């Protein structure tokens, strides 16, 4: 009995030690974040920042910008355009972004495929029995003599958009250059004009024409960006934008027959369009009107 | 004793007076407003250094300005200081205002005070997930870890490594191009990489979110050198070719952004370009005869398919641009500032 009581006492003591050790650990871990400031007294509940420069509220924003396509398989594109915004408040703006493609450059892959087309030197008509022209026969629908001419490209984009600016602050470079900065998000419907290989419905018609046709598609666009205010009236802006929609970038027949239409059907049609994220980076300079900004309370 | 009490009351009364005097001069008030406007960003900066607590700094700054105004206006009020001296000579200020006025006002004011998270003499553990950005054919995804030590607040030295082997992926675009154009592109897959890096942190800042809370961030540049283990994926003659991983020297440069949740924890987003010389598969295959149907790098036929010395041809400088997303944990978790706030 006595031994049992002693065991219970020892167990209880151990439990208390473990509990005490746990408390110490918990307390210690709390002291690690003791530097976080808890504001009490008259400043409790006060806004995080006072006397903010109101760069946006009630001002028009005109931003000429250059836009570069990202992660292109066959053609890189450069667009020139502008963003026009009216800032309803410091956080919300209504406006439109529009851009036109001014340069379309072939990627290394496009050049590589063109080199193969040149090396194959496919005749207009090939015999089924001629093994030397196997590649020519199998790519008859997909490759013309000038690969670059059949590639799908975006020609222009127009995006009415709502811009939301929830975050604003400052960045310090080398502890000597301080720049007011904000982080904004935007979204809206997108009207996209693009060139794409013309539809065709048979091997004969498809292998005879590799030209492109224009079409317009409506989708959505969204993105985010940073504004670095260099003046009360101006800011350098860098935006990342996604305009997701389906298109046929290579002018290939990749789908249309078989299970889930996942196999080529010797036709060029909307089935051959593949969903792409279509990402872009814009660099621009925003000018705000009127030139003078206000300051918050 | 009574005299000193009266003296203290008078001093208190005098210190209140300037505040009302400020409102009297319209021109001066406008001047102060414009100063406020110009220094708005600094005020905001100091405020956002420490949330609402920084408002106190601002108030303090305003108080200082008010005191300065008082000093310049005191002689016009006619005898405020003389009264103190009459009542309590010991409390009489012995400041030579002319001398004080000549002192240069070169006080250094930091626009961003007290960096939220100091890095100096701290270790950084940085687990991350890596994704390839510039390869449409093969995805080089991987899991990695970086360990840095910061001898200076703006400069760190460390090591990092990524394990890719389990996470290499083939894209549907690869299959489409091969089927549609019958064009093969030499492909490679990665095993691992490891490098020694220098991290330079030239920029830091903060954002006020919804005008309510503040979070801190910094931006850094990283560069280093190390090793990368890669091998070609057999595309052109897979029946005969089988490649082993080879270790190659590599360099890397990158930029990153760290967003702090706590002074010891941050999320990171980094773009890193790993540069190395890749050996690409021979795109020529030759005929089907295993003994003499292979091809040399220039396409000349007649070599043995299984002769590995003809499997690799072109060496190409490769840029593997990776997006790395992860967390930073700083140790020790606490630190002391050199100067008081």
User: Is there a cis peptide before residue A290, judged by omega within 30 degrees of 0?
Assistant: yes
Task: Look at B182 and A138 and tell me if their CB atoms are within 8 Å.
Answer: yes
Packing angle, helices B2-24 and B26-38, rounded to 10: 80
Taking the C-alpha atoms of residue B121 and residue B138, their distance in angstroms, rounded to an integer, is: 40
What's the domain range around B160?
122-331
Domain count, chain B: 2
pLDDT at B235: 86
Instruction: Indicate whether B339 belongs to any domain.
Output: no
B262 vs A13, which has greater pLDDT?
B262
- B242 assigned to some structural domain: yes
* Domain ranges (residues) in chain A: 61-292
Distance from CA of A65 to the nearest CA of B (A): 23
Band of the pLDDT at B241, cuts 50, 70, 90?
confident
Q: What is the mean pLDDT of residues A140-156?
A: 93
Q: Do B139 and B54 belong together in one domain?
A: no
Residue of B30, B119, B182 best to disrupt the A interface, most CBs of A under 10 A: B182
Using CA coordinates, name the residue in chain A closest to B110.
Answer: A175
pLDDT interval class at B19 (50, 70, 90): very low
Are the beta carbons of B203 and A53 separated by less than 8 Å? no
Instruction: Answer whether A181 touches B (CB < 8 Å).
Output: yes
Q: Is the pLDDT of residue B236 over 90?
A: no
CB contact under 8 Å between B47 and A50, yes or no, is yes
For residue B324, which of B204, B165, B162, B170 has the smallest C-alpha distance? B162
pLDDT of residue B337: 77
- Do B155 and B229 share a structural domain? yes
CA distance B91 to B94: 9
Check whether residue B129 and residue B276 sit in a common domain: yes
Distance from CA of B296 to the nearest CA of A (A): 18
Say whether residue A116 is in contact with chain B using an 8 A CB cutoff: yes
Residue to test with chain B: of A28, A31, A51, A261, most B Cβ within 10 A: A51
Predicted pLDDT at A126: 65
B128: nearest Cα among B190, B188, B193:
B193
Set of chain A residues whose Cβ sits within 8 Å of the Cβ of B55: 43, 46-47, 50
In a shared domain, residues B143 and B46: no
Q: For residue A173, list chain B residues with Cβ-Cβ distance below 8 A.
A: 202-203
Least confident of A169-173, A282-286, B86-90, B156-160: B86-90
Asked if A176 is an interface residue toward chain B (Cβ–Cβ < 8 A), one would say no
Each residue of A205-222: pLDDT tens digit?
998 889 999 999 999 999
Task: Write the pLDDT tens digit of every residue in B28-71.
Answer: 434 343 333 333 333 333 333 333 333 333 333 333 333 333 33
Q: Are residues B149 and B55 in the same domain?
A: no
- In the predicted structure, residue B183 carries a pLDDT above the cut 60: yes
CB spacing of A49 vs B211 below 8 angstroms: yes
Are residues A178 and B51, on separate chains, in Cβ contact within 8 Å? no
**Mean per-residue pLDDT for A59-83?**
95
Among A183, A189, A180, which residue's Cα sits nearest to residue A165? A183
Give the residue, B340 or A147, on which the prediction is more confident. Answer: A147
Q: What is the pLDDT of residues B193-230, one digit of tens each?
A: 999 999 999 988 888 887 678 888 999 999 999 999 99
Cα separation of A24 and A16, whole Å? Answer: 12
Q: Per the domain annotation, does B145 fall within a domain? A: yes
For chain B, give the mean pLDDT.
76
Residue predicted with more confidence, B250 or B297: B250
Domain membership of residue B117 (yes or no) is: no
CATH code of the domain occupying A61-292: 2.40.160.20
**A 129-148: CB under 8 A from B:** 135, 138-139, 142-143
pLDDT of amino acid B61:
34
Beta partners for A186?
A163, A223
Residue B216 lies in a domain: yes
Chain B residues with CB under 8 Å of A252 CB are 176, 180-181
ipTM comes to 0.71
When comparing pLDDT for B269 and B120, which is higher? B269
* Shortest CA distance from B331: residue in chain A: A32
pLDDT for B254 beyond 90:
yes
Question: What pLDDT score does B198 carry?
Answer: 97
Average pLDDT, integer, range A241-260: 92
One domain for residues B72 and B128: no
Is residue B24 a part of any domain in this protein?
Answer: yes
Q: Compute the average pLDDT of residues A89-106.
A: 95
In chain A, what residues touch B177 (CB-CB under 8 Å)? 109, 113, 250
User: Do residues B294 and B165 both lie within one domain?
Assistant: yes
Decide if B111 is inside a domain.
no
Predicted confidence at residue B24, as pLDDT, reads 35
Length reported for chain B: 341
Closest-CA distance of chain A to residue B111, Å: 7
Average the pLDDT over each of A161-165, B61-65, B132-136, B150-154 and give the range with the smallest value. Answer: B61-65
A30 touches chain B (CB under 8 A): no
* B307 inside domain: yes
3-state secondary structure of A173: strand
Q: B265: domain CATH number? A: 2.40.160.20
Band of residue B239 on the pLDDT scale cut at 50, 70, 90: confident
Q: Is A228 helix (H, G, I), strand (E, B) or coil?
A: strand
Give the C-alpha separation, B304 to B292, whole Å.
5
Reply yes or no on whether the pLDDT at B294 is more than 80: no
Judgement on whether residues B148 and B75 belong to the same structural domain of the protein: no
> Which residues of chain B have a CB within 8 Å of the CB of A226?
none
Tell me the average pLDDT across A283-295: 91
Mean pLDDT of B107-111: 57
B72, B102, B132 - which closes a domain: B102
Q: Are residues B75 and B166 in the same domain?
A: no
């Amino acid at each position: 009995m006595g031994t049992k009581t002693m065991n219970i006492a020892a167990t209880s003591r151990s439990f208390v030690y473990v509990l005490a050790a746990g408390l110490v650990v918990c307390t210690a871990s709390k002291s690690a974040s003791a530097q976080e400031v808890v504001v009490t007294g008259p400043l409790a509940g006060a806004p995080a920042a006072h006397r903010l420069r109101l760069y946006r509220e009630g001002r028009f924003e005109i931003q000429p910008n250059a836009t570069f396509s990202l992660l292109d398989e066959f053609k890189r594109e450069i667009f020139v355009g502008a963003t026009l915004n009216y800032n309803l408040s410091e956080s919300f703006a209504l406006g439109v972004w529009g851009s036109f493609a001014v340069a379309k450059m072939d990627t290394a892959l496009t050049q590589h495929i063109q080199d193969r087309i040149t090396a194959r030197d496919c005749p207009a008509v090939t015999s089924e029995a001629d093994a030397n022209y196997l590649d020519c026969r199998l790519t008859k629908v997909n490759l013309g003599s000038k690969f670059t001419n059949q590639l799908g490209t975006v020609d222009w984009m127009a995006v009415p958009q709502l811009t939301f600016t929830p975050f604003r602050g400052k960045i310090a470079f080398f502890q000597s250059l301080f720049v007011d900065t904000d982080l904004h998000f935007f979204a809206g419907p997108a009207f996209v004009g693009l060139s794409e290989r013309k539809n065709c419905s048979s091997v004969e018609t498809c292998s005879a024409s590799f030209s492109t046709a224009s079409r317009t598609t409506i989708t959505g666009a969204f993105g985010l960006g940073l504004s670095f205010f260099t003046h009360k009236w101006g800011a350098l802006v860098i935006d990342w934008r996604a305009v997701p929609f389906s298109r046929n970038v290579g002018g290939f027949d990749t789908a249309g027959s078989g299970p889930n239409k996942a196999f080529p059907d010797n036709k060029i049609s909307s089935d051959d369009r593949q969903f792409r994220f279509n990402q872009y980076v814009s660099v621009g300079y925003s000018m705000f009107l009127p030139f003078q900004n206000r300051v918050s309370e | 004793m009574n005299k000193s009490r009266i003296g203290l009351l008078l001093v208190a009364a005098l210190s209140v007076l300037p505040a009302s005097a400020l409102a009297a001069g319209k021109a001066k008030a406008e001047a102060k407003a414009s100063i406020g406007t110009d220094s708005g960003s600094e005020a905001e900066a100091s405020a956002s250094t420490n949330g609402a607590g920084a408002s106190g700094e601002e108030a303090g700054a305003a108080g200082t300005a008010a005191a300065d105004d008082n000093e310049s206006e005191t002689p016009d009020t006619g005898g405020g200081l003389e009264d103190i001296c009459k009542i309590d000579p010991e409390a009489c200020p012995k400041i030579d205002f002319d001398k004080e006025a000549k002192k240069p006002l070169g006080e250094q004011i930091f626009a961003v005070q007290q960096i939220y998270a100091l890095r100096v003499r701290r270790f950084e553990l940085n687990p991350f997930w890596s994704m390839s950005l510039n390869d449409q054919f093969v995805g080089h995804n991987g899991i990695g870890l970086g360990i840095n030590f910061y001898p200076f607040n703006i400069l760190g030295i460390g090591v990092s490594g990524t394990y890719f082997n389990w996470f290499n992926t083939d894209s549907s675009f690869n299959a489409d191009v091969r089927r549609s154009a019958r064009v093969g592109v030499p492909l490679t897959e990665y095993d691992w990489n490891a490098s020694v890096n220098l991290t330079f942190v030239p920029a830091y800042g903060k954002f006020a979110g919804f005008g309510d809370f503040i979070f801190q961030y910094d931006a850094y540049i990283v560069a280093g050198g190390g090793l990368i283990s890669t091998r070609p994926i057999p595309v052109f003659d897979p029946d005969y070719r089988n490649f082993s991983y080879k270790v190659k020297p590599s360099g890397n440069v990158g930029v990153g952004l760290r967003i702090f949740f706590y002074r010891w924890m941050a999320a990171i987003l980094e773009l890193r370009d790993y540069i190395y010389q890749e050996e690409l598969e021979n795109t020529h295959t030759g005929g089907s005869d295993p003994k003499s149907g292979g091809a040399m790098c220039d396409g000349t036929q007649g070599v043995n398919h299984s002769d590995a010395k003809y499997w690799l041809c072109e060496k190409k400088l490769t840029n593997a641009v990776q997006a790395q997303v992860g967390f930073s944990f700083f140790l020790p978790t606490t630190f002391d500032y050199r100067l008081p706030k």
